[in-house]
Amino acid sequence: MVLKRETAPRDQDSISMMNKNMLKQAQQMQARLGAVQEELAVARTEATAGGGVIKVTVIGGSTVESITIDPEVVDPEDVEMLQDLILAAINEAMDSAQKLAADKMGEITGGMNIPGLM
């Protein structure tokens, strides 16, 4: 003899309601993620090097928008130092942009690492 447990309609209603709530929450999270991604796409981060003689601005986390060089730091005899300062400022600006993106996304995901999100 096989006993079969029948699911009460009330249980099915509860499960259906839970599924609807989960779907609604997922849609809300997706909307918030989209808004944050749009915000990050136009976010500007700045970094300096050499005590502020080099300033780099990055937009969207991946595009160098501007580089400002104080004319006093330009020494034709030491171009290598200028190159190093520019690289340092660019790398710092890119790191800041990535940190900003991670922080913003972490606010939505609760710190969960969701593959493919960033």
* Percent of the chain whose pLDDT exceeds 90: 43
Compare 109 and 65 and report the one with higher pLDDT: 65
Q: Give the pLDDT mean for 2-6.
A: 59
Which pTM value belongs to this model?
0.67
Give CATH for domain 11-109. 3.30.1310.10
Segment 56-64 shows an average pLDDT of 90
pLDDT band at 118 (very low <50, low <70, confident <90, very high): low
Question: What is the spatial order of strands in the sheet that 63-69 belongs to?
Answer: 44-49, 54-59, 63-69
* Whether residue 65 has pLDDT greater than 90: yes
Mean pLDDT of 81-95: 93
The reported pLDDT for the residue numbered 62 is 85
Output b/e per residue, 87-99; b: 16+ Cβ within 10 A: ebbbebbbebbee
d(CA 108, CA 28) in angstroms, rounded, equals: 10
Looking at residue 67, what is its pLDDT?
A: 94
What number is the average pLDDT over the span 91-115? Answer: 84
Q: Return the bridge partners of 5, or none.
A: none
